[in-house]
Structures are given as C-alpha cells and as structure tokens.
Structure 1
C-alpha cells in the first residue's frame, strides 16, 4: 500500500494538484510506514481504530476469512466531518493530468464499467453524509454477520441506486490492461487516471506467480513517477535504450537469436564472438564490455552483426541489458563458455516449446536449508545459470526497467547472485520452473580456473545475497519453482 500511495502522491504533485491528500488506513499498517507517509507534503493520515470486525462490532469468528481487513474503508469516507466534497482515488491509481473537470462533477460520479451497467468505485466523487454512511454500514455488517462475502464496493452498488450516479468520462479510470490499446493513446482519449486493476501491481508483480499479462506502457508510467521515491524502478545508467515489446502477451517464436556476450576483456571473448557471428541462427551479437574505464573494441571492426555496449558502471546487472531491438529469443552467454552451433540450436528448439520459461544448459538447486546451493540436481533443480541461458526478451525488459532498483542494488552490494535474482524474478512472476537442456557432446569451459565462482567465499556470499534479496522483494522464501524434467538430445534414429 505504501508504494501505491507514494507514487499516487507524486503523480498528483506532477499534475499541479495542491489539495490535501487524506490517506485512510487500517489498523494493520505499521507505525514506521505511517510516519514515512505523514512526512510527505500535503498528506494527512486517518487511521481507523479497527478492522472490519471492529467496524461491525462483532467478535464472531466469521467463515469469510478472505474478506480484507480494509474492506470497509470506502464506507468511512461518508463519515468524515468538515469535508464538503471528496474525490476518491484508490491507492493503485496514478494521475496523468489535472483533474479539474472531475472535481467539478456532482456527488456520486464515477466511470461506468465496460459492458455492464454498474459503476467502478476505484475513482469517484462523493459528499460525506451520515445517513448514507449508516445505510452502507448496516448493509456491510449484515453481510459480515451472516458469513457472506462482502466489500465496501459491493455495499455501494447495493445501496446507491444506479440512477443516482453521474457517469464520468472513461479517461478517469483507464485499466492498465487497456494502455496497450491504441484507442487510449489518441489525443481525445488521453488518460487522466490509470488504474492498476487486478492482483498484479507495479510493486508486486514478481511475487504472485500468476503470469498475468502486464502493460509495459502503464507500468513505465508508474515507474516514471516512482523515480524520486524509495520504490524507483530501473537504473539511471540504463536510460531508455532497451526497446519494450509492443505486445507483452505475444510469445512468438521466430527462427533467429540475439546473443548477449558479457566480458571484462578476458581474451577468450574474441574467439567466442567470432564463433557466434558465424552461426546462421544468430542475427545479432551484443558485446557487453563490463569495464567502464577500459577502451572497448570498435563495433565497425567486428562486423555488421555486432553491437558493442559499454556501461557507465561495472555491475553484474548489466548482463541483462542490450540496446535497441532484440529477437524474441535472447541467449545470454559468458565469455568462457563455448557451445557449438548444434548445441545452440538444440537449446533454441527447447525454448521455442517453452517460451515462458528460462531454458539453460547449467541447472542448480537452491534451498532455504543446508546445503543451500548445490550442483547436484538428481532430485530436481530450480535455477538455470545465466552463463548459458535462453530467455524471452520480455523478461530482460522487466528486469532492466520494471524491477525495483533497490532489489538490483543487492547484486551490486554483494557482486553476486544476479543469476539467482533473474530466476527468482521469472519464477516469481509466472510460477513456472526453468528447464534444463541436455546437449550432445560437452560444452567447453575456457575459464574454469578464474572468475567469481572460483573464490573461496563465493557460496557463503551467495547465501547472504539471496537472503538480502528475499527481504527486499518482500518475501518469506525464494520464489523458485522446482523442476526435474530435462530436455534430452534426439536419438540418431529420431534425427532422420
């Protein structure tokens, strides 16, 4: 809730509004969170003394345990004293332009839900009224006492007749899913309020496991206002160079791959770059030159397939960034892992059948109990390492632009576990386990005796890093879905 209110507050200020913002909270909100919000300009906190059971003055152990403890808060709006008019905005909205016309609408104004006669109460104009408050409270508490599922939204629909509502322009409540529809991008339909309707929010999408499609347009707008808050997304050094997928629900499988090859000028990058450039399946190779101070090679000397990107800061997070347009399938490679074209094609074939999963050559297992991290995966695995990984470009965009900066900063703090974070993000978002691909022949490791993993403290650092990630992501454990299936190479008879 704090993330939503903080960013809504920033969007109101950016739109020129200077009216007081009254935040109604339930009793479960912690004291330090309330204190942080109270320090924001123009914000006033109104904390209810009890949840919905206290509101209804019942100690009954209701069967409707899934009723939110804040399910009655909209009803409280009608009990406010010394307030002439209220423009109510849910905490999961942002304001894109001044709300002058909305403020001038009469009481009981809201946007009509598409294809139905009811009104959506996430954004509404109302006037406090003791009589309406009493009717709403009576109806809500009657449902609670009879073990019926209910909410303030449901009570409003039942008590306030449809002909009492004034229909507001639908630009005042645009669901985030509609932001990818060109109709909403026209000048006449420029959204005034975006509503992040549904369970998936810009501040929790990585931990729900639903895989519910999100609008990169709507989420980017939220992130723009979040930039000055503790919930900032992305990172300044990346800018906006990565192109967003136009349709995040499209998981097409084309026949080409983009390769992202990361190096800190280890000599083996030259040989591997030439190898990937020679593969017909590869349309483009992005060489990520992790040394921000050393001179990178000129792309013009490496051929038309190659793009060189040198970040301003050395960070393991940079291995997931690539400027410009990418193929749907991106192969992330270390500068010491040598695969053949046949092995790359085999992994690509497996990915095309499982585009919502991470697909890779190197499985690992992470658990919350000792031994925590293991290369022994005969009982299953829940990670595929990023030194040889196939992923949809959409997940790279989510990591770079939508994942909160404070989470990625843990990777910088420990100089470790970016691969586990990427797996946590994808499995946490869609609830799907990664997939291991067994290849014919061996993948040659050209840097077995060097690198981060050769450090004696590597595994202890990974343990601390993952627990820090769990804390920053607001989780109780790592959201890593277990997998046990391995895509095996075709037998000779099957190849014919």
Structure 2
C-alpha cells in the first residue's frame, strides 16, 4: 500500500504567494508597517511644533517692538509732571526736597508743583538768597496754589527760607525742624520724575551716608612735575568715555541731613572762604566733604532728568578751567585726595526691558 504524500514546492506558500510562510516574517512585516505609521505621525508632530514655535517667536518680536516703541515714545514726549509714584513713604516720612533758586520764579513754580506731587516728598524748602525778598504773589502761589494742585492725602510742608546776602553756600545751611534724614538737593531748573526720584531714594536708603545722585563727574591725575600733581575735572563726556566717576553733583542728589551741619560748621574755614570768594564749586566741596567723611564713592543712579533752563553755567566760557582750579585748590587745602573713583551704577530693573 502506498502513502500519498503531498509535496509543496519550495517557492510556493499555502496561499499561493511565492514565499514560504513564516510567523516571524509576518511579525516583522507588521512591525515595519507600524514603524512607518509612527514615523509619519512623529514627522507631523514635529512640523506642527515647529510652526507653533515660529508663531510664538514672531509674536514675541512684535510684542518687544511695541513695548520698545512705547517706551521711546514716552521718553520723546518728555517729562510728565504728575507721573504717579509707586514707592510709598518710609517710616520717617520720606525725604525733604531742598530747592536752590536764583531769579527764575517761573521755573521755581514748576519745580515746587512737581516735587509736591511726589509721594515720597515730606517737605519742600526753597533756598532764597536774592537781595530782594520773594513777592507776596510768589509766596501765595507756593503756599496755596501748589496745595490745591497737589492730589495727595498728605500735602508736603512748603517753606521759603530767606537768607541775607547771596552766599552760594546758603544752599547747604542746616534746617532745624527737619522731619527726615534724607535731603534731596536740586536746582530750580532740574526736574526728576517722581518714579525715578523714589528709586534713587531707595538706593540712598541702602547707603544713607554716601551721596546718591543723577549727575556724575570725575577727576584724574593729568601730570606731575616737581613732585606737584595736577588733576583734571571731567564732565559727562569724560564719564561716558572712561566709564568711571568720583562725584555726583548736588544739583540733583540725595545725602544725609548731617552733612548740612558738617558743611556749615565743620568744613575747614579756608575752604568756606575759598567758596565765598570764588562764588562757585560748592557742589565739588560737598562731594569732597562726604568722601572725606566716609572714605567711600558716591552712587550714580541711571535715570532721565530734565533741565528746563536754556543753558547752565557749564556752558559758559572758562567753566572747565575754573572747575580744574577748584579741584586742585581743594586737594591742596585738604592735603589729600578724598574722592574715590567707581564704575558702579544703580539701575532700576523695572525700567529695563532686556536683562
């Protein structure tokens, strides 16, 4: 009896395909199909993610341009005299604004009105050193009109301190009834926005025995001959070029109230006589006084300030030579150079849109 054995051709599968059936092969094929589908899905996801990133980047660029343009536009439009202050007054009532004025009543009115609107201002003292007394209309404006224009729950005390004679050092006379430790010394033609002023005040609070201001100046050794050193006084462009400074001018600066007493009663008499005779450089003398007392540099605060006058004494002919002379004469009278150079600058992060 013969047995019939079905023999399958090597090249033919059970379903007629020209390959041998293999479970492993089938699984591999299935994996390949799945892999293709997964790769396609992944590519689509990456494409969508890339598109989303591009849109987010473009949106960020547009927003940055708008913010930058708004800041520039605000700066271009100029000073807003009633810009709201965001810093509340500290325990001692904030700061006293000490305004030095000289025959610029219209500018004085603007300055007093502005500083009265700053929330950190506890009091305003106007240093009056003119031969003529302030008119009744001016006093009425300062004492009544400014109060009516000030939209604050606490209206600062405003007073005109009349001095006899026109001694330039009157701007640093002690004030007996001050309620604050902080003095903000400013000229009548300089306006510092309230928010910028309050930031500078917070910087001063971190270093209350140094000068903190907006107008940096510098000095450097120019030459030395026969063991005699000659120093030069550098203005704003020197500070910008060299990246260092050693003074901040009292035309817009904070300092402690104790320096009013030290300047008037403790500063060497030859320097007092020198300032009275030259009728200038009282601001350099204050920088020398504070540096000599602390052994520390001042602090320059970055901030936009507005000078309302047509031109100051710095534009007059021979100004640089007079400042050089004052600097070297003070160094000679002190017998040393108390000024300390620094390159530190205080900047408010709130006003910086790029870190």
Check if 1:270 corresponds to 2:270: no
Match of 1:408 in 2: 272
Q: 2:163 aligns to what SS in structure 1?
A: coil
TM-aligned CA deviation for residue 471 of structure 1: 2.8
TM-aligned CA deviation for residue 391 of structure 1: 0.3
Check if 1:312 corresponds to 2:151: no
Q: Summarize the alignment of residues 132-281 of structure 1 with structure 2, pairs less than 5 Å apart.
A: 254-266=92-104, 267-281=106-120
Structure 2 regions of 5+ residues with no counterpart? 1-89, 148-155, 223-230
Match of 2:199 in 1: 346
CA contact (8 A) 1:320 1:400 kept: yes
C-alpha separation in 2, matches of 1:374 and 1:341: 26
C-alpha separation in 2, matches of 1:350 and 1:258: 16
- Distance change in 2, residues 1:400/1:489 (3 Å): same
Q: Summarize the alignment of residues 267-306 of structure 1 with structure 2, pairs less than 5 Å apart.
A: 267-295=106-134, 297-298=138-139, 300-301=143-144, 303=147, 305-306=157-158
TM-aligned CA deviation for residue 409 of structure 1: 1.7
Check if 1:445 corresponds to 2:307: yes
TM-score, scaled to structure 1: 0.45
C-alpha separation in 2, matches of 1:344 and 1:359: 11
C-alpha separation in 2, matches of 1:322 and 1:271: 25
Which of 318, 321, 324 aligns to 1:463? It is 324
Q: Summarize the alignment of residues 39-188 of structure 1 with structure 2, pairs less than 5 Å apart.
A: none
C-alpha separation in 2, matches of 1:455 and 1:493: 35
Which of 438, 451, 454 aligns to 2:315? It is 454
Larger-gyration structure (1/2): 2
Deviations 1:221-278 (A, max 9, x none): xxxxxxxxxxxxxxxxxxxxxxxxxxxxxxx974510000010121211011011112
TM-aligned CA deviation for residue 311 of structure 1: 1.3
Deviations 1:399-454 (A, max 9, x none): 12221333112112222211111111111111000000112xx211101x333222
Please identify, of 290-299 and 386-395, the stretch whose mean Cα deviation from structure 2 is larger: 290-299
More helix by share: 2
CA contact (8 A) 2:210 2:299 kept: yes
- Distance change in 2, residues 1:354/1:286 (3 Å): same
CA contact (8 A) 2:173 2:264 kept: yes
Match of 2:20 in 1: none
Q: How many residues align?
A: 238
TM-score, scaled to structure 2: 0.62
- Distance change in 2, residues 1:450/1:269 (3 Å): same
Q: 2:221 aligns to what SS in structure 1?
A: coil
CA RMSD of aligned residues (A): 2.2
TM-aligned CA deviation for residue 294 of structure 1: 4.2
- Distance change in 2, residues 1:343/1:493 (3 Å): closer
